[in-house]
Chain A
Amino acid sequence: MVSQQEDGPVTSSIRSTLTDLLNPEKLEIINDSSKHAHHSAMRGVFSKETHFRVNVVSEAFAGKSTMQRHRMIYGALSKDFDAGLHALSLNTKTPAEIAKANEA
């Protein structure tokens, strides 16, 4: 497992961008880069911050489809993608959806 001690520059950039954009109730950013370090697209890439999982709960997603939620995030992070961010696995929920899932 990747330790979660200190955010690298990409992680902190994602964190601050998404915090500004979504005012999230919960924001979890997990760096999975080491799991993908050997795949072919990563040849010659030395960044330790290329693949992330992001779990975010925000009211800002209300009334939006998954596609729209993902586009919001991808749009806001375009500069990070330009700078070498390679993959984001997104889990985007509203507080109401979380509450409903917990009930079930």
Chain B
Amino acid sequence: MNFLRTASSLALRPSGHILTRRTALPATAFAVRYLSDSTKKTIEDAITRNKLVVFMKGTPDAPQCGFSRAVMQILTVQGVDMQNSLKSFNILADEELRSGIKEYSSWPTIPQVYVNGEFVGGCDIMLSMHQSGELEKLLLKEGLVEPEAEENPRA
């Protein structure tokens, strides 16, 4: 067990995968297992053409998992225009995308949120960014929400 753990954590070290995209990645099982060129292109097109992309279980109106639902609720509370500003993918309807996005992001769970082409995180990170105010800052910066009107302009 022990040697297995060491071997896999070295071979699958995920941080290097996305941050330092090496041109000649060794064909490890992890790197070639799921992500086809067409799926990769689908993902890259989606995250470059849309400011806000969520890969989720179900749809924004009918999430199929509590974590995906939580992310939709957070974005709604933040004031994102869920009809026009959000591009979502239901990974339950596309097995290749489901495994592909996990590998693309080096992140093993769904939902996954991309803002302006960058992976922001899953449910836990969205929730903590929501609570800390970081999410609002990010959404404002990317123009995904409108600045709130001054509450007491004359005060």
Instruction: Report which A residues bind B (CB closer than 8 A).
Output: 13, 17, 20-21, 36, 39-41, 66-68, 70-72, 74-79, 81, 85-91
Of the candidates B5, B14, B64, B66, which one forms a contact with A71 in the assembled complex, judged by CB atoms under 8 Å apart? B14
Q: Does B38 contact A (CB under 8 A)?
A: no
Of the candidates A36, A75, A89, which one forms a contact with B14 in the assembled complex, judged by CB atoms under 8 Å apart? A75
Beyond A39-B65, A81-B108, is A76–B124 a contact (Cβ under 8 Å)?
Answer: no
Total residue contacts A-B, CB cutoff 8 A: 66
Instruction: Decide: A78 and B12 in contact? CB cutoff 8 A.
Output: yes
Smallest CB gap from A21: residue in B: B9
Complex Cα distance, B124 from A66, in Å, reads 9
Instruction: Decide: A36 and B107 in contact? CB cutoff 8 A.
Output: no
Instruction: Decide: A91 and B12 in contact? CB cutoff 8 A.
Output: no
Instruction: Decide: A74 and B64 in contact? CB cutoff 8 A.
Output: no
Instruction: Decide: A75 and B15 in contact? CB cutoff 8 A.
Output: yes
Number of interface residues of B (CB under 8 A): 26
* Secondary structure of the A contact surface, majority rule: helix
Complex Cα distance, B9 from A87, in Å, reads 18
Complex Cα distance, B109 from A87, in Å, reads 6
Residues of chain B from 86 to 133 with CB closer than 8 A to chain A in the complex:
92, 106-109, 121-125, 128
